[in-house]
Every structure is written in C-alpha cells, then in structure tokens.
Structure 1
Amino acid sequence: MFRGSFFFFPGESRARGGEIDVSKVTRPPSSFLLPLFGFFSLGAFPPHLTPVMSSATDISSGDGHHLNDSAFVQQAVGWAAVVATLFYFAAPIKDVFGENGIVKTRTNANLATGFPYFASFYNCALWVMYAAGDLPKLMQPLAINILGVSLQLSFLTCYWYYATEKDDLVSCRRAFFGGAFIVVVAFAVCESMHSFKPFGDFAMVMNIIMYYSPLAAFATVVREKSVARMPLAPLVLTLVCSLLWLTYGYMIRDVPIMTPNACGVLLGIAQLSVYAYFSISYGTKRPDDVEANATAEANEQQRLINST
C-alpha cells in the first residue's frame, strides 16, 4: 500500500513487511511539474501507484469503503474553502476587465495599488509547489491554487501594462522581482534539504502577505479620505476564506495552512473595520467626484440666480 506523496527523494523510503511506506518519500522539487498534469485523474496513475486517502481522510472498511462522517465533513469544508477562494481570486475581474476596469479604460488609475495581484500570484505559486508534494491530502489547495496562478498572472500583467506613473512602475518591478526572489530561495532551500516541507513555510509567509496586501491601499484611503479605490469584495472574501481554510487546516492538522489563515481572520476583521470607518465617515465617492459634483451644483445655482 502506498501512503502520502509519490514525489521521491533517494534514501527516504522504508520497506515494512513487504509494504512500501512512502509517507516521506519525495522527488526533488525541481521535478514537481512533471506529474502535475496527472493529479486530477486517479486513472492517470498505474494501478500499483494509485494513491489512497491519507490518515487525515479515513476510509471505513465497511460496505463499499465509504468515507466516515469525520472525513466527509473534512472534505466538505475543504471544497467549501475552494469555492470561497475561487470567488476571492476572481473578485478583481470586474476591476480589471469590467466596464470601468483597467483594460476598457486603458489605465489603472481607478486602483490604489497592484500589489495584491503580485502577492496573490506568488502565494498561489508557492502553494502549488507545497501541495504537489503531499497528495491526495492537499488536493483542494492544489486545485484552487493552480487556477489562482493563472488568474493572478492575468491581473498583474494588465495592471503593469497600463501603469503610467513612475512610482507605480517602480512598485510593480519591486513586487515582481521580490516575489521571484522568494520563490528562487524556496527552491534552493528545498533542494538542499531534499524535502518539500520548506515550501509550506514560504507559502505560509506569502499567504500572510497576500491577506495583508489590501492594506497597501490604506495610505491612499487616508490621504483621499475615501474607500473608492479600495474594493470591498476582496476584504469580505479574505475573512470568509481565512475562516474556512483555518477550519480545514485544523481538521487535517496542517500548520502551514492554519497559521496564515489565523492571521487572515485578524487582518480581514481589521481591513473591514478600516473600510467601514472611512465609508461611514466620508462616503465611498472619490474626492475628484465629490469636487466635480460640488462644482456642478455651484454652477447650477449660479445659473438659476442669473436667470432670475
């Protein structure tokens, strides 16, 4: 019987009474991409290598090998987290491809910062690398983060392409190369340790940065006294996703999943508090919109005075 991952490192396998325990057996990190295309179909594995559910998702040996109640709840929470995260990753579609989005207006001026796109992209990339080493236990994180990589890459590309201000271009370059540096370091550490586990540590840190990233717009919110350029949907979904993934991580006893999402719950509450304060105190319109409306009202009043 095979348990755990099927990524192999030399010297880490143990034979036990005719069975092969590969719970700690992994391939080098540099080869993780090769089997990714077969992850979503058990039929892609040879019969003798077909993975079974890990101990975190028990299969009862009764009639038909049905999942027990605990495993069913775990899987339900995991896929609920996947759905919530899908909405989280897709939330910027309106800001990027919508009627008043970056592509249609050919400018990113309606957004305070593109940092969340870069943080989310590298977060997803690191989670793919970590989850790929521990299947089928981490199938849900793997599935959603593969999709997340594609979505976030499209968002950051559009934001960067239509960036015109010098400071904005500098910020994009710093975010891109800073994230790339973290991924390279993660690969180097994993190769030197002959283990996929360090990917989880790096993914954990990047996950916290991703949840924090909407607060990068905080300076703009304070300066303009408006939340118009701080989208609400990602803030709400940060809290929802964090709660679900925290619950899922606790159920499968995975610290790299629990830690960043515990922080995500706190950051989600903080971000929503900031949004609520400024939206109640100053409204949701941009300062230039308020000024334009005030000017229009003043002109209308002057016209009425002149007409009398």
Structure 2
Amino acid sequence: MEDLSFIIGLIGNVISVLVFLSPASTFWRIVKNGSTEEFDSLPYICTLLGSSLWTYYGVVKPGEILVATVNGFGVLVEAIYVALFIFYANKKMKKKTGILVGILNVGFPAAAILGTRIALEGEAQIDSIGFVCAGLNIIMYGSPLAAMGTVVKTKSVEYMPFFLSFFLFLNGGIWAFYAFLVSDLFLGVSIH
C-alpha cells in the first residue's frame, strides 16, 4: 500500500505542478500588455497562503514530504505571480493587493506557524496546522468565485481559465485518493 500511495502522491505532484503553472499564460498576457486588466489578485494570494501552510504541514508531519515539496514549488510560483501582479497593477489595485499580501501571506502564516510551534507539540501541533490548512483550503476553493464575478460582469469566460479549472478538478480527485491511502483526514477533507 505504501508503494501505491507514493505513486499516487507523485501523480498528485505532477497534477499540482500543472495547477500552479496553468495561470502562466495569464501572467504572460499581463507582462506583454503591461496591465493586470480585469484580473483579480485574490485567487493567487489565497493559493500562496494555502501553499505556504501546506508546505509547513508537510514538513512537520512525518511521511508527508510529497505534500511539502509540491507546495514549496507552489509557494515559489505563486510568489512570482503575486509579485508580477503588484508590479503591473494600477495604483488602487497595488494598494489592495499589498494589504492582502501583508495580512494573508505574511501575518496569518507567521501567526499560525509561531502559534503552533510555541503552544503545541507532537500530534497536537500537526493536527492544529492540518485543521487550519483544511479549513483554508475549503475557503480557498471559493476564491475562483471572484473570477466568476468578472466572468458575469464581462460576459466572457476569458477571465476563468479552462486549464486551471480542469487541473483543479483532477488535483482534487488524485489528492483525495492519496489522502484515503495514507489515512490523512486533513488532506481528504480539504481535497488538496
């Protein structure tokens, strides 16, 4: 069973990498046009938050190196996306995005990591960060709703990338199966 879970985890890593890279064409467009246009930064900020905390979870939980490595890659990619977004956004959007990054990508992860490191040990530490990650992932999967608002407003699916939706669907399925194989409730609840 351990070999099967490792293989499924590797497949999950490949699909997760595709999820992280699927907005690359959007950011190529932003760089090429020199503008963030009608794109919203919230999905990228939320993904960076989730990836940061899942990296921490994968590091503190024994045997979850696959979760840590792929989310570490996600932190790098999402940080690049957020930096590009801030660089090319208009003044009002830069301010909004900067505030959100400060709160959600610096303040919240720091508080969660420090809080669990200082106050808890062993399984309690792992369980508490897993609980936070699972809850945030459930919320994070709602962040595409911000893009849906733009889709409705513009009457165009241009701002809801197909490949992102497709790879998120595959990602949820493969990580749910992995969670079942390794009996990790937190990965399963969040459909990482």
Q: TM-score, normalised by structure 2?
A: 0.90
Q: Which amino acid aligns with 1:188?
A: L
Q: Which residue of 1 aligns with 2:119?
A: 192
Q: Which residue of 2 aligns with 1:216?
A: 146
Give structure 2 stretches of 5+ with no counterpart: none
Per the TM alignment, residue 165 of structure 1 is displaced from its structure 2 partner at its CA by 5.2
Q: Which residue of 2 aligns with 1:158?
A: 84
Measured against aligned partners, the alpha-carbon deviations of 1:207-251 in whole angstroms (never above 9, x if no partner) come to: 223322111112221222221122111111111101110110111
Deviates more, 1:79-88 or 1:207-216: 207-216
Residue pair 1:119, 1:213 contacting (<8 A) in 2 also: yes
Per the TM alignment, residue 174 of structure 1 is displaced from its structure 2 partner at its CA by 3.6
Q: Which residue of 2 aligns with 1:178?
A: 103
Q: Which residue of 2 aligns with 1:14?
A: none
Q: Which residue of 2 aligns with 1:77?
A: 8
d(CA) in 2 for partners of 1:96, 1:215 = 19
Measured against aligned partners, the alpha-carbon deviations of 1:143-176 in whole angstroms (never above 9, x if no partner) come to: 101111110000010011111052x234313421
Q: Which amino acid aligns with 1:178?
A: I
d(CA) in 1 for partners of 2:162, 2:86 = 22
Residue pair 1:78, 1:245 contacting (<8 A) in 2 also: yes
Residue pair 1:214, 1:235 contacting (<8 A) in 2 also: no
Which of 179, 186, 192 aligns to 1:256? It is: 186
d(CA) in 2 for partners of 1:93, 1:217 = 16
- Say whether 1:149 aligns with 2:75: yes
d(CA) in 2 for partners of 1:209, 1:177 = 18
Identity of aligned residues (%): 22
d(CA) in 1 for partners of 2:154, 2:24 = 24
- Higher RCO by CA contacts (8 Å cutoff, separation 6 or greater): 2
Residue pair 1:211, 1:238 contacting (<8 A) in 2 also: no
More helix by share: 2
Q: Which runs of 4+ in 1 moved over 3 A?
A: none
Q: TM-score, normalised by structure 1?
A: 0.57
1:15-164 aligned within 5 A: 70-97=1-28, 101-109=29-37, 111-135=38-62, 137-164=63-90
Q: Which residue of 2 aligns with 1:239?
A: 169
d(CA) in 1 for partners of 2:12, 2:83 = 26
Q: Which residue of 1 aligns with 2:94?
A: 169
Residue pair 2:130, 2:186 contacting (<8 A) in 1 also: yes
Per the TM alignment, residue 129 of structure 1 is displaced from its structure 2 partner at its CA by 0.9
Q: Secondary structure at the match of 1:108?
A: coil
Task: Name the larger-Rg structure.
Answer: 1
Residue pair 1:112, 1:230 contacting (<8 A) in 2 also: no
